[in-house]
Amino acid sequence: MSRASDTYDPWASDSPDQTRRASDGVRPRNGHLTPPTRPTRKPREEARLAAAVELFCDAKTAEGLSPRTVRWYRDILDRAVARFGARTILDEIDAPAWRAWLVELRSTLAPVSVAGYVRCLHVFGNWLVAEELAGADAIRRLAKPRVPRKLVEPLTDEELRGLLALAGTRDQAILLLLLDTGIRVSEAAGICFRDLRGDGSIKVMGKGSKERLVPVGTSSRRAIGRYLAERGRGEPDEPVFLAEGGTGLTFHGIQQILKRLKARAGLQRRCSPHTFRHTFARNYLVNGGDVFSLQRILGHTSLDMVRRYVALADTDVASRHDLASPADHLLGGRARPVR
């Protein structure tokens, strides 16, 4: 019996011609093994823009991203398809062409929106490379435009009271919830009855499908209770806030509520859902809250965004100091006017 080879292949066939089949080489007449001829690899078909966008959005949906996030990707990339053509080969769009498009967008979009387009394109480009669909060098190397850092002016107590006085029972509950917790409008729209906790907190679904518990104050809970007394209790999976037709309020529905109330109150300044988030953060810090609990309530993964809210609170503290400076009161100095 011949000795088994030390390089025995456990996946080789046990037929009599095992040795010949297991061999990686071809034995010519001279008895020496030569490397096998590798099959010719079929060249990869060059990715076209519209087809790649469809695959990308399908992949992000499969990864579990929220429908709103996938829709954001699709809206931006669909504009790219409209600009460059559905059947355009991706790698034939060079960097100057992409930059020229971004310059065009600046005529109708704010700098922060254009920066969002670049962020979307970076994600798209990295995915194309990971999937080996395109090199995407021109997309991945796009520089992110600078975005002016502007502080969002929070609403004053007088403005808030004016809005609440004009709001109905449902809208009062929504306004107070936004003011008291700083949750995003999409999170407020997604609250179901099962999310109302017995300890007075609310479970919300944040960005990246991350759940968190948000504490709610007494005034906000009472306002929600008054609304539920009129609306009636629903099933666990039923949304708490309903539109006029009986369906759940959407992100855009709450936006329209704020828009209508702003018009009725005659406010000439910004009064968006994000204004309420900034107002909550500023007031929370000024009233003695700390940045670490604020970070958890807002659902931020880092303190970078919270630092902007701290700047708002610092501005408020400086204004108060101008009016109550101990040295100015002692020496009779006049406080500087509040800016």
Q: Which residues are catalytically annotated?
A: 184, 207, 274, 277, 300, 309
Alpha helix (H) residue ranges in 182-290:
185-189, 218-231, 251-265, 273-286
Radius of gyration (Cα) for the chain, nearest Å?
30
Give, rounded to a whole angstrom, the gap between the first and last alpha carbons of the chain. 99
d(CA 287, CA 315): 14
What 3-state class would DSSP assign to 239? strand
Largest CA distance in the chain: 113
CA distances from 276 to 125, 143, 186, 268 (A): 35, 32, 13, 16
- Classify 11 in phi/psi space as left (phi over 0), alpha (psi -120 to 50) or beta: alpha
Amino acid (one-letter) located at 108: T
For residue 313, which of 277, 284, 272, 337 has the smallest C-alpha distance? 284
CA distances from 142 to 89, 105, 147 (A): 18, 15, 15
CA distances from 36 to 15, 18, 22, 31, 39 (A): 21, 17, 12, 15, 9
d(CA 185, CA 171): 13
In SS3 terms, 18-49 reads as HHHHHCCCECCCCCCCECCCCCCCCCCCCCEH
Contacts of 226 (CB under 8 A, 6+ apart): 169, 172, 173
145, two tokens: 């435009």
